[in-house]
Amino acid sequence: MTQWTSAVGAAQLARQLLAQRPRPAAGPGARRPPAYRTLADGIRLLVLEGRVPVAARLPAERELAAALGVSRTTVAAAYEALRGEGFLQSRRGAGSWTAVPAGNPLPARGLEPLPPESLGSVIDLGTASLPAPEPWLSRAVQGALEELPPYAHTHGDYPAGLPALRRTLAERYTARGVPTMPEQIMVTTGAMGAIDAICHLFAGRGERIAVESPSYANILQLMREAGARLVPVAMAEGLAGWDSVRWRQVLRDAAPRLAYVVADFHNPTGALADEDQRRRLVDAARSAGTVLVADETMSELRLDDDIAMPRPVCAFDSGGSTVITVGSASKAFWAGLRVGWVRAAPDVIRSLVAARAYADLGTPVLEQLALHWLMRTGGWEEAVAMRRAQARDNRDALVAAVRERLPDWEFAVPHGGLTLWVRTGGLSGSRLAEVGERVGVRVPSGPRFGVDGAFEGYVRLPFTVGGPVADEAAVRLAAAARLVETGASTGTDAPRTFVA
């Protein structure tokens, strides 16, 4: 019986491995590890980060050797080392497939929240989510309970969302200068639920989807699991954002069915698309016949008051058939309030609602009522103001701490959003993530936000901690960086306890 459930091609694995920066030598005159050890460490990192799934069949030794330009003996020795460490299993006639040693947790392929029981010993920089802005969450839930009785006498299934919430969301878009009817709104279970529904409707297995490079890791993984072929479009350096000429060329040449962008405080770079960039993106998508999905989950998180917000991306879609907008309460309010929405042409909304009968049927009524209460009473604006103030303080504390403790790391400070995109001074982001777990700080590596191993020299730092905790996070990141620099990030004898 075959033990593997998926397969990784030689060319794909080679691209991911070659993108990894080699581990530095431990000091002047120190020898580099043998080639087989470097190869084994590289594959192990890919498995630990979830970028190569567990139970994935690896290429035959001869195929991988040819793709990497190394000897078959090197690949054979690397596979043997991985078998000895529990990261590979083999059987004659079935090949070799990835595994994790007994007692190790299965790696997450997305950005999974840290279990609550670990929060006391590990600083979690893995997810860009803040605690709920109280007392507004409790007030919203109480308000929802007071409004619940009439709905409790119904079947409770509202595939398009509660009519009252759809009207409120439509009014908010209209107030932003984009006239919108309730028939153009569908309420979803978070932004992930919205984008999943859009991908299933527009981009079947094998279809191309153009994505920013880098882009939001969980959305990239969602699209991969849906069978999409991702077409990366490079972002400009720093906060410059979207290269309109490059986007027009990619959309014309690749003709993707969908394109996905985060124009408002981009995740992970924090860039904000100006009005000209938005207009050009929409024009390029319209010319190519591509549906442009604009993710607005960060749009309300403007942290600097002197920055003027441009009009929504859908404001530049005069015909209303090119842009689909996705919003959510998760970033601006609280990730535990799993309510998102889609704004699109009425016929698109009808198709999404019809398809929902085979998915989740609808978003929980109580959560919709809580969000409606917030938006109807003005509590949303006050809660978001609290969120902005907290994120601004956290950003400033984290920036100061990283600049002090890791002066070689480079980044541009965004004017909004929840994330800092950091170049790690030539160190491997994957190795920093691995060692960070051991020294008590959890950080996602750059390749999670790219395609086929891109951004190995980056990590993403969210604005989720502030004050002394931000400084301690930088201290632990600096400790991880020192371990990576000295080559202590790999090997089965590496330390398993916190050193900071």
The overall longest dimension of the chain from CA atoms, in Å, is 77
On the question of a cis peptide bond just before residue 268, with omega within 30 degrees of 0, the verdict is yes
pLDDT computed for residue 497 by the predictor: 26
**What whole-number distance in Å separates Cα of residue 152 and Cα of residue 166?**
19
Please give, one letter per residue, the 3-state secondary structure of 242-284. CCHHHHHHHHHHHCCCEEEECCCCCCCCCCCCCHHHHHHHHHH
At 358 the three-state DSSP class reads helix
List the pLDDT tens digit at each of the 500 positions of the chain: 356 666 888 988 988 888 765 555 445 555 678 999 999 988 988 887 667 877 788 999 999 999 999 999 999 999 999 999 998 998 888 788 888 787 665 555 545 666 665 556 789 999 899 999 999 999 999 999 999 999 999 988 899 999 999 999 999 999 999 999 999 999 999 999 999 999 999 998 899 999 998 999 999 999 998 899 999 998 888 899 999 998 999 999 999 999 999 999 999 999 999 999 999 999 999 999 999 999 999 999 999 999 999 999 999 999 899 999 999 999 999 999 999 999 999 999 999 999 887 778 889 999 999 999 999 999 999 999 999 999 999 999 999 999 999 999 999 999 999 999 999 998 888 889 989 988 999 999 988 898 866 788 899 999 999 999 999 999 999 999 999 988 754 443 333 222 22
Taking residue 297's Cβ as centre, other Cβ atoms within 10 Å add up to 26
Strands 291-295 and 229-234: unpaired
Identify the pLDDT of residue 165. Answer: 98
What one-character-per-residue DSSP string does 5-17 give? SEE--HHHHHHHH
Question: pTM here?
Answer: 0.82
What is the per-residue burial (b if ≥16 Cβ within 10 Å, else e) of 239-260?
Answer: bebbbbeebbebbeebebbbbb
Residue type, 473: A
Cβ–Cβ < 8 Å for 37, 2? no
pLDDT at 80: 94
Helix count (H) and strand count (E) of the chain?
16, 15
Per-residue model confidence (pLDDT) at position 27: 53
What crossing angle do the helices spanning 365-377 and 379-405 adopt, rounded to 10°? Answer: 90
- pLDDT reported for residue 7: 80
How many of the other CB atoms lie within 10 Å of CB of 500?
A: 16
In the three-class reduction of DSSP (H, G, I as helix; E, B as strand; rest coil), residue 412 is classed as coil
The strand pair at 323-328 and 340-343 is best described as antiparallel
Residue 58 near residue 95 (C-beta atoms within 8 A): yes
What DSSP element (H or E) covers 29?
A: none
pLDDT for 247: 95
Predicted confidence at residue 431, as pLDDT, reads: 87
Neighbouring residues of 23: CB distance < 8 A, sequence distance ≥ 6: 32, 33, 38, 41, 428, 431, 484, 487, 489, 490
Tell me the C-alpha distance between 245 and 240, whole Å.
Answer: 14
- Using CB atoms within 10 Å of the CB of residue 121, give its burial: 0 to 12 exposed, 13 to 18 middle, 19+ buried: exposed
Position 94 scores a pLDDT of 79
Q: Which among 83, 79, 80, 114 has a CA at the least distance from the CA of 101?
A: 83
* DSSP letters spanning 134-186: TTHHHHHHHHHHHH-HHHHTS----TT--HHHHHHHHHHHHHTT----GGGEE
Counting Cα atoms < 13 Å in the Cβ hemisphere of 134 gives: 2
